[in-house]
A = this chain, B = another copy of it.
Amino acid sequence: MADLARGCAFLGSGGGGDPQATLIELEAYSGGDFSVELLDAESLDDDALVAPCGWIGAPTVSAEKLPSGQEALLGLRKLEARLGRRVDAVFPIEIGGSNGLAPILLALRAGVPLVDCDGMGRAFPESQMVILNVCGISASPAVLTDDKGNCVIIEAADNVSEERIARAVATVLGASCHLMEYSLSGSQTKAFALPGTVSDALAIGRSIRVGRDCGGDPFASLFAALKSSRQFSKAGVLFDGKIIDIQRETKGGFSLGKAIIEAAGGGARLEIDFKNENLVARLDGVVRAIVPDLITIVDRETAETIVTERLKYGQRVRVVGASAPLALRTPEALAILGPSALGIATPYQEIEVLNGWT
C-alpha cells in the first residue's frame, strides 16, 4: 500500500491530493491487515455495474480536513439505491494522488473488487477531464457525500454541468467531498478505461523505494519502471534545482499557483503553473512539458513526490516528466483535457518531442 501510495503520488502530476492521508485512513480502518481483489478489466462481466470514484475539492483543504470514513460507502449505497442494483466493482476515477488509493478503502468496506484501470491515467483538476467523458459516458447520476452525512445526487444535463454542480456543492460543504460518477458497464470499462494503471502505479512506487533502499539510484529504477509501464513509457528529468518561489491561492474550490525553480548556482529557471495539478513547465520561457503529459516535482535525493500543496521555498527538487497515455493525446481528448481546456494558449506537444527523448 505504501508503494501504491508513492506511485499514485508520482502519477498525480502534483495533484490528486496527498496519498499519505489516505494511506493512514486505510491503515486505521484495517489495522494494516487486509486484502482487496485487484481485477483485470478484461475479466469483468460485460453487464457488470462498475463505479469509478474519488474525492473532489482542493488538496490544500483535504490535507487538513479529516474525513469521517463514512463518505465513500454512503455514496456507494446511495448510487446503488438510485440505480436499483448492487455495484460489482470500483476503480479510481483518477489514478493520480490520493484518488488512486481512495477506492481501495471503498472496495474493502463494500467487499467488492478493485478494477486495474482508471479514468485519467494521472490526475486532472476538473472531473469532466476524464477519458470516460471523451468516450461519451454520462457522469450522471453522480453522488456526492460529505463527512456530515450530506448526500447530493446530481443528474446533470451534461458532464461539464455535472462538474460545475459538484464543484459548487463540494465548495459549500468545505471543499473536500467524495464523488461517485461515470458509473458504467463492464463492457464499457473494457472499451474505455485506461487499463493497468493501478499496476503501473504500484510498480512505479515500488521502483522508487527499492532503488533507494538498496543503495542504488531511485531515479534509475524509477525510469526503468516507467519505461516498462503500460501507459507512461517516455520519461526523463526535465530540471534539477531549488524552489525559489511559490505563489498559491485557494479559489473556487481549486488550488491555483506557480512554482519557480532555479538551477544550482543560478542561471536557468523552470516555471511550473498548477491548478491542483502541474499543467505546464517552461524552461526560461520555453515549454518543456504540457498537460496531459505528466509533470511531477520530486525530492532530488529520495525521488519522493512533492505534491503542490507541500511545495515550499528552498526545497531541492528534480522535475520529472512522463508521457501521458496515448488515449489522452487524441484531438478529441485534448479538446476536453488538453491545454486549451485549461486556459493555456500553447498548443499540446508531446513531451518526448519537446525534449528529444527517444
Q: CA–CA, A161 to B148, complex, Å?
A: 10
Residues of B within 8 A of A161 (CB): 148, 150, 173
Judge if A111 is at the interface, Cβ distance under 8 Å: no
Judge if A152 is at the interface, Cβ distance under 8 Å: yes
Q: Mark A157-196, 1 if CB is under 8 A from B, else 0.
A: 1000100110111011100000000000000000000000
Restricting to A126-174, which residues have a CB under 8 Å from any CB of B?
148-157, 161, 164-165, 167-169, 171-173
Q: CA–CA, A153 to B165, complex, Å?
A: 11
Q: CA–CA, A153 to B78, complex, Å?
A: 11
Residues of B within 8 A of A153 (CB): 152-155
- CB of A253 to closest CB in B, whole Å: 10
Q: CA–CA, A169 to B169, complex, Å?
A: 6
Q: CA–CA, A127 to B335, complex, Å?
A: 39
Q: CA–CA, A161 to B154, complex, Å?
A: 16
Q: CA–CA, A152 to B150, complex, Å?
A: 13
Range of interface residues on A (Cβ < 8 Å): 20 to 34
State which of B150, B156, B164, B171 has its C-beta within 8 Å of the C-beta of A155.
B150
Residues of B within 8 A of A172 (CB): 164-165, 167-168
- CB of A181 to closest CB in B, whole Å: 13
Residues of B within 8 A of A157 (CB): 148-150
Residues of B within 8 A of A171 (CB): 168
Q: CA–CA, A307 to B155, complex, Å?
A: 33
Q: CA–CA, A290 to B155, complex, Å?
A: 40
- CB of A85 to closest CB in B, whole Å: 16
Restricting to A176-233, which residues have a CB under 8 Å from any CB of B?
none
Given contacts A78-B155, A155-B78, contact A150 B168 (CB under 8 A): no
Restricting to A62-109, which residues have a CB under 8 Å from any CB of B?
78
Interface pair B156/A165, CB less than 8 Å apart:
no
Q: CA–CA, A167 to B168, complex, Å?
A: 10
Q: CA–CA, A149 to B164, complex, Å?
A: 14
Restricting to A331-357, which residues have a CB under 8 Å from any CB of B?
none
- CB of A298 to closest CB in B, whole Å: 36
Q: CA–CA, A149 to B140, complex, Å?
A: 12
State which of B149, B150, B155, B165 has its C-beta within 8 Å of the C-beta of A173.
B165
Q: CA–CA, A150 to B156, complex, Å?
A: 4
Closest to A168 in B: B172
- CB of A176 to closest CB in B, whole Å: 15
Closest to A173 in B: B165
Residues of B within 8 A of A150 (CB): 154-157, 161, 165
Q: Which 5 residue pairs of A and B lie closest in terms of their CB atoms, listed nearest first?
A: A168-B172, A153-B153, A151-B155, A149-B157, A148-B157
Contacts A153-B153, A165-B173, A167-B172 known; list 20 others, CB within 8 Å: A78-B155, A148-B157, A148-B161, A149-B157, A150-B154, A150-B156, A150-B157, A150-B161, A151-B154, A151-B155, A152-B152, A152-B153, A152-B154, A152-B165, A152-B169, A153-B154, A153-B155, A164-B173, A165-B172, A169-B169
27 cross-chain CB contacts under 8 A: A78-B155, A148-B157, A148-B161, A149-B157, A150-B155, A150-B156, A150-B161, A150-B165, A151-B154, A151-B155, A151-B156, A152-B152, A152-B153, A152-B155, A152-B165, A152-B169, A153-B153, A153-B154, A153-B155, A161-B173, A164-B173, A165-B172, A167-B172, A168-B168, A168-B169, A168-B171, A168-B172
